[in-house]
């Protein structure tokens, strides 16, 4: 489970970085809409990264209980 959370965390951080990079490189007639969209998605990735990191540091009993919910 730890390896899977680590991979999910790394992937989510990378995706967030890509959203932020795109946020700053948008140009053209749809600049404003895309700028806002990429910023929104970046914010969602930040929240997800935070939730994953908190889960990784959760006490073992809590982690096991949450894991059993998704089995």
12-28: burial string, b at 16+ Cβ within 10 Å, e else: bbebbeebbebbeebee
Q: Sorting pLDDT into bands at 50, 70 and 90, what band is 59? A: low
As a dihedral over the C-alpha atoms of residue 47, residue 51, residue 56, residue 62, rounded to 10 degrees, the angle is 170
- pLDDT, tens only, 16-34: 999 999 988 999 999 999 9
Q: Sorting pLDDT into bands at 50, 70 and 90, what band is 3? A: confident
Q: What is the mean pLDDT of the chain?
A: 85
40 pLDDT exceeds 90?
yes
Rounded to a whole number of angstroms, the CA Rg of the chain reads 16
Q: Tell me how long the chain is.
A: 71
Fold of 2-69: Ferritin (1.20.1260)
46 contact partners, CB below 8 Å, separation of at least 6? 16
């Amino acid at each position: 489970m730890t390896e899977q959370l680590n991979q999910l965390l790394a992937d989510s951080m990378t995706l967030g970085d890509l959203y932020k990079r795109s946020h700053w490189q948008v140009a053209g007639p749809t600049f404003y809409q895309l700028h806002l969209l990429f910023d929104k998605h970046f914010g969602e990735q930040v929240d997800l990264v935070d939730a994953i990191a908190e889960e990784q540091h959760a006490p073992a009993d809590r982690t096991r209980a949450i894991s059993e919910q998704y089995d």
